[in-house]
Amino acid sequence: MSKPDTPAQSQYRDIANTTFWNELMHDVYGPRSGGAIIYVDAENARKGVAKTSGAVAFAKLFSQAFNYDLKKEDLTLSGSQYLKRYQEHPGERQPSVLVLDEFVGAGSGDARRSMSHQNVNFGRAWAMLRTKRVVTLATLPDWNEADRRLQKYADYRLWMRERPIGFCQPYKVTVPFNSTGGGDVRTKRLGDGRLKFPNMDAWKDPHYQYISKKKDDLIHERDVWDADELGEGDDAETIDPDEARRQEKIKTAIRLYQPWDDSRTHSYKAVGDVLGTSDTWVGNRVREWKNGEHRDLVPNPSNE
């Protein structure tokens, strides 16, 4: 005799029988074979409607479906840390999941910073790495606060309802045929019902507790409202700013090109276009890495 479902298993099973679930799984496992960007925002931009709890709950559901071992480092408030993890994720062979909490509030993706270097990098990463099967859940108070160009790269929106807490309405993001720039991004409702998700706070879920502590640290850090300024995931060692930028660019180039993967699809030119460098510069850094240099920046995954 089989054991009855736990509340979590029951809720997850119910979600797996929805239009939203079928659409997302078709994106990942169908002919497109790519990832997805999911914005998680709140009705009336209300606080305390379980956006983070919902994002973590869906992240764990997707991870189970993908047979992906969700790590605490896959949940972050920092835009730079998110981009770093995005580049590190498995790629075409293994679907995976990331959570970027407080996408606007913690300093990333804000429409008022649309021309910032990091927002441009988000756009480039989401455009170039679409073939990576990474599902991102990005929480923010209101969908309309996000950079309009980054909205165009989104695939879905989970709108957390004010009452009762623990329910959301899924939407698919659509872009009209003649849309230009960042305008005319629309959402189309998926299905007629709401999705119920478990209360990760009540369950004392370790992933939820991890990202909640990160958020508390940011809130209580006086005069700092940007997660990147807290140095999340960065080494404490002081380094010359110019050298730090150079090393970061080398690291990004190598991670994007992935010289250890014979099935890669990116060219030197494609990586150079993302970084604003020449294909020759990228090729030189890749050859240096193959010769054993820069391994402190990017270890060889084949040896791990």
C-alpha 245/C-alpha 135 separation (Å) is 28
Cβ distance 94 to 68 under 8 Å?
yes
Instruction: Give the model confidence (pLDDT) of 177-227 as tens digits.
Output: 765 555 578 899 998 789 999 899 888 999 999 999 988 877 665 444 444
Strand 134-139 with 156-160, pairing:
unpaired
Q: Is 7-230 a domain of CATH 3.40.50?
A: yes
Residue whose token pair is 């960007």: 37
Q: What's the confidence (pLDDT) of residue 67?
A: 94
The residues of the chain scoring below 50 in pLDDT are 1-2, 4-5, 7, 106-107, 109-116, 222-231, 233-239
Q: Domain residue spans in the chain?
A: 7-230, 241-298
Q: What's the confidence (pLDDT) of residue 246?
A: 83
Q: What's the confidence (pLDDT) of residue 89?
A: 84
Q: What's the confidence (pLDDT) of residue 93?
A: 81
The pTM (predicted TM-score) of the whole model is 0.70
Length of the chain, please? Answer: 304
Q: What's the confidence (pLDDT) of residue 2?
A: 47
Selection from 165, 147, 130 nearest residue 34 by Cα: 130
Q: What's the confidence (pLDDT) of residue 236?
A: 37
Q: What's the confidence (pLDDT) of residue 230?
A: 45
